[in-house]
């Protein structure tokens, strides 16, 4: 972080950013806030690597015959895109950046329970990430991010082992982060911060952490088995060696389906904070939202078989997994209805974070409803492995998780950096992203129903119009993502100085300075109220409504 908030030298307070500028103070930091910044820089790098691959693919698909790249290159591109986006962007994104930064602040703790483990998680992530990206770029991997056997274990002639080794290492970082969050939330809550006074952000991250800790070891073992079969020809997955190829799919999806919830639950966490703040209302149905997060985490472990309805799974398994998959819809719907109800009779601001949060609800609703098509057996057989599924999971992961991440980044940017983001540019880019996203991915639902298979380097000519629309959308989306990159960097030097609590939000993180001091709170907070008392806020704090940019003199005080 090259730039820090500007104050006249005499009254410059010590913050987690300015207490030391030495490189060592960053690389060996045990401060959860600095580790969050390290993660933020790294996942941004990986996001743009993965995004670049997507742009080349969409350009290539402008014509049915695909003239831009060769088939082998195309196969490496979608593998690069999938592996980087799933394992090195989406999974760490909100938990490792915003969760890392905010959970100790939100529960009134000085740091996470295991600061060294937190730092170690970043090193595992970086070594894994670089290992995988080098393998994916230099020479490449052509298996797709799903590494289906026996293609990945026997037939592919690419750097599968190195890519898998990278994912294996990054898995540890995910486990460390989850473990840290669970212990922190159990042991380090401030006096008065009971479980049901915790912000919903923490509840969702608790649910996410459970998945990370329980599911990640399974994919790690599975991927090691792929390496063992690839290197030593031990018969595990390849039938010609006596293995079972579908076994891999069971083990892979036992992690990778819950992993979808690792990606989207933290998105729900962010949205549950933004909506009450900008509607100035206590969130509707707090405990229903909290328990629906836990329910999603639990049900998420029971639905992996819906990835194998056409894989040779027995008809009876398919029936059970279909029924269980539908069950995930209930807690998801409950959340959407509660967020919407929170808006009722609120005082609704259209600030940038709110635009992202409302966009999230709309896109997540569409992603969730199309998920019902996929859980419906008769329909899934037709749309399985087509662009329909591509569109569906991009609505959840990009329309859901990425929109929420960007919303959260705007929301907490003043707290993280001490600077305000430019509001007008923020709104513009939120609209561009919403538009570009829908134009990119909505046509893919239609392409999928037409039957266009995923991972195709060329396609029948009658599908060109929809592909061109999708590629046009992708170019708009790319602009939408570059804009925040630009103005966030700009704001570090030229943005307005952020007050302690620019949105008059509740929540402990808004009671400490922006950016917070190294130890988070000058005076350890004592909690007496629930997390979303927007009904009490104004009178209780006795502070007038202050325009953005002014400072509120409540620094370090205990929450009333």
Q: In terms of C-beta density within 10 A (0-12 exposed, 13-18 middle, 19 or more buried), how is residue 240 classed?
A: exposed
Q: Tokens 């294996």 map to which residue?
A: 168
Q: Tokens 């910044």 map to which residue?
A: 37
Minimum gap (Å) between residue 206 Cβ and another protein: 20
Minimum gap (Å) between residue 451 Cβ and another protein: 3
Q: Using the minimum distance from each CB to another protein, give the nearer residue, 25 or 287.
A: 287
Q: Using the minimum distance from each CB to another protein, give the nearer residue, 93 or 332.
A: 332
Q: Using the minimum distance from each CB to another protein, give the nearer residue, 96 or 135.
A: 135
Minimum gap (Å) between residue 163 Cβ and another protein: 15
Minimum gap (Å) between residue 129 Cβ and another protein: 24
Q: What's the chain's length in residues?
A: 560
200, two tokens: 């919903």
Minimum gap (Å) between residue 345 Cβ and another protein: 5
Q: What is the DSSP string of 494-533?
A: HSPBP-S-TT---SGGGGS-SSPPTTS-SS-----S-TT-
Minimum gap (Å) between residue 409 Cβ and another protein: 22
Q: Using the minimum distance from each CB to another protein, give the nearer residue, 126 or 161.
A: 161
**19 contacts 449 by C-beta, under 8 angstroms:** no
Query: From CA 215, how far away is CA 124, in angstroms rounded?
Result: 18
Phi-psi group of 524: left, alpha or beta (phi > 0 → left; psi -120 to 50 → alpha; rest → beta): beta
Residue 55, CA distances (Å) to 392, 478, 487, 500 in order: 19, 8, 22, 39
Q: Using the minimum distance from each CB to another protein, give the nearer residue, 232 or 316.
A: 316
Q: Using the minimum distance from each CB to another protein, give the nearer residue, 244 or 522.
A: 244
End-to-end C-alpha distance for the chain, whole angstroms: 34
For 453, the 3-state DSSP assignment is strand
Minimum gap (Å) between residue 284 Cβ and another protein: 5
Minimum gap (Å) between residue 232 Cβ and another protein: 20
At residue 158, φ and ψ (nearest 5 deg) are -115, -175
Q: Using the minimum distance from each CB to another protein, give the nearer residue, 168 or 364.
A: 364
Q: Using the minimum distance from each CB to another protein, give the nearer residue, 177 or 342.
A: 342
Task: Count other C-beta atoms under 10 Å from residue 347's C-beta.
Answer: 9
Q: Using the minimum distance from each CB to another protein, give the nearer residue, 129 or 276.
A: 276
Q: Using the minimum distance from each CB to another protein, give the nearer residue, 201 or 373.
A: 373
Query: From CA 504, how far away is CA 78, in angstroms rounded?
Result: 44
Minimum gap (Å) between residue 323 Cβ and another protein: 5
Q: What angle do CA 484, 487, 488 make, to 5 degrees?
A: 75
Q: Using the minimum distance from each CB to another protein, give the nearer residue, 115 or 285.
A: 285
Query: From CA 59, how far away is CA 68, in angstroms rounded?
Result: 7
CA nearest 286: which of 400, 404, 358, 203?
A: 203
Q: What angle do CA 59, 63, 66 make, to 5 degrees?
A: 75
Minimum gap (Å) between residue 307 Cβ and another protein: 11
Minimum gap (Å) between residue 309 Cβ and another protein: 8
Q: Using the minimum distance from each CB to another protein, give the nearer residue, 150 or 499.
A: 150
Minimum gap (Å) between residue 390 Cβ and another protein: 12
Minimum gap (Å) between residue 242 Cβ and another protein: 9
Query: From CA 194, how far away is CA 186, in angstroms rounded?
Result: 10
Element spanning 160, H or E: helix 160-187
**200 contacts 276 by C-beta, under 8 angstroms:** no
Q: Using the minimum distance from each CB to another protein, give the nearer residue, 209 or 352.
A: 352
CA nearest 547: which of 427, 423, 409, 426?
A: 423
Q: In terms of C-beta density within 10 A (0-12 exposed, 13-18 middle, 19 or more buried), how is residue 467 classed?
A: buried
Three-state SS for 427-445 is HHHHHHHHHHHHHHHHHHH
Query: From CA 116, how far away is CA 31, in angstroms rounded?
Result: 9
459, two tokens: 């396609």
Q: Using the minimum distance from each CB to another protein, give the nearer residue, 32 or 410.
A: 410
Minimum gap (Å) between residue 95 Cβ and another protein: 27
Query: From CA 3, how far away is CA 414, in angstroms rounded?
Result: 14
């Amino acid at each position: 972080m090259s730039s820090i908030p500007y104050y006249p030298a005499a009254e410059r307070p010590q913050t987690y950013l300015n207490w030391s500028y030495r490189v060592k103070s960053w690389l060996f930091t045990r401060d959860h806030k600095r580790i969050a910044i390290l993660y933020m820089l790294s996942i941004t790098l990986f996001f743009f690597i993965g995004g670049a691959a997507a742009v080349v693919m969409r350009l290539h698909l402008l014509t049915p015959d695909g003239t831009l790249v060769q088939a082998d290159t195309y196969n490496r591109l979608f593998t690069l895109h999938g592996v980087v986006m799933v394992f090195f962007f989406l999974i760490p994104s909100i938990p490792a950046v915003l969760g890392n930064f905010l959970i100790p602040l939100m529960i009134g703790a000085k740091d996470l329970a295991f600061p060294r483990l937190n730092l170690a998680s970043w090193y595992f992530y970086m070594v894994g990430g670089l290992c995988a990206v080098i393998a994916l770029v230099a020479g490449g991997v052509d298996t797709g991010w799903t590494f289906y056997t026996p293609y990945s274990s026997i037939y592919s002639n690419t750097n599968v082992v190195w890519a898998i080794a990278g994912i294996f290492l990054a898995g540890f970082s995910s486990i460390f982060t989850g473990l840290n969050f669970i212990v922190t939330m159990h042991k380090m809550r401030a006096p008065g911060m009971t479980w049901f006074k915790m912000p919903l952000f923490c509840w969702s991250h608790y649910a996410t952490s459970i998945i990370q800790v329980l599911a990640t070891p399974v994919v790690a073992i599975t991927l090691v088995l792929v390496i063992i079969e690839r290197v030593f020809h031990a018969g595990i997955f390849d039938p010609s060696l006596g293995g079972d190829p579908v076994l891999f799919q069971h083990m892979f999806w036992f992690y990778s389906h819950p992993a979808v919830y690792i990606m989207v639950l933290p998105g729900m966490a962010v949205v549950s904070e933004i909506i009450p703040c900008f509607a100035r209302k206590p969130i509707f149905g707090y405990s229903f939202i909290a328990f629906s997060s836990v329910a999603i985490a639990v049900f998420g472990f029971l639905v992996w078989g819906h990835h194998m309805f056409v894989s040779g799974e027995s008809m009876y398994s398919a029936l059970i997994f279909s029924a269980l998959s539908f069950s995930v819809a209930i807690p998801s719907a409950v959340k959407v209805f509660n967020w919407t109800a929170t808006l009722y009779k609120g005082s609704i601001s259209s600030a940038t974070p709110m635009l992202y949060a409302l966009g999230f609800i709309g896109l997540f609703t569409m992603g969730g409803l199309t998920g019902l098509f996929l859980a419906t057996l008769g329909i899934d057989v037709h749309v399985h492995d087509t662009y329909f599924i591509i569109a569906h999971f991009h609505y959840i992961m990009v329309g859901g998780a990425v929109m929420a991440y960007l919303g959260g980044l705007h929301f907490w940017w003043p707290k993280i950096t001490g600077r305000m983001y430019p509001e007008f540019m923020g709104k513009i880019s939120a609209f561009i992203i919403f538009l570009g996203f829908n134009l990119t991915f909505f046509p893919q639902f239609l392409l999928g129903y037409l039957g266009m298979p995923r991972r195709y380097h060329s396609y029948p000519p009658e599908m060109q119009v929809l592909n061109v629309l999708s590629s046009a959308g992708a170019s708009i989306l790319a602009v939408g993502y570059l804009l925040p990159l630009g103005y966030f960097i700009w704001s570090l030097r030229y943005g307005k100085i952020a007050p302690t609590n620019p949105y008059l939000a509740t929540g402990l993180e808004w009671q400490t300075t922006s950016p917070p001091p190294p130890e988070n709170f000058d005076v350890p907070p004592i909690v007496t109220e629930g997390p979303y008392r927007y009904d009490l806020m104004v009178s209780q704090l006795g502070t007038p409504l202050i325009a953005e940019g002014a400072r509120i003199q409540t620094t370090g005080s205990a929450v009333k």
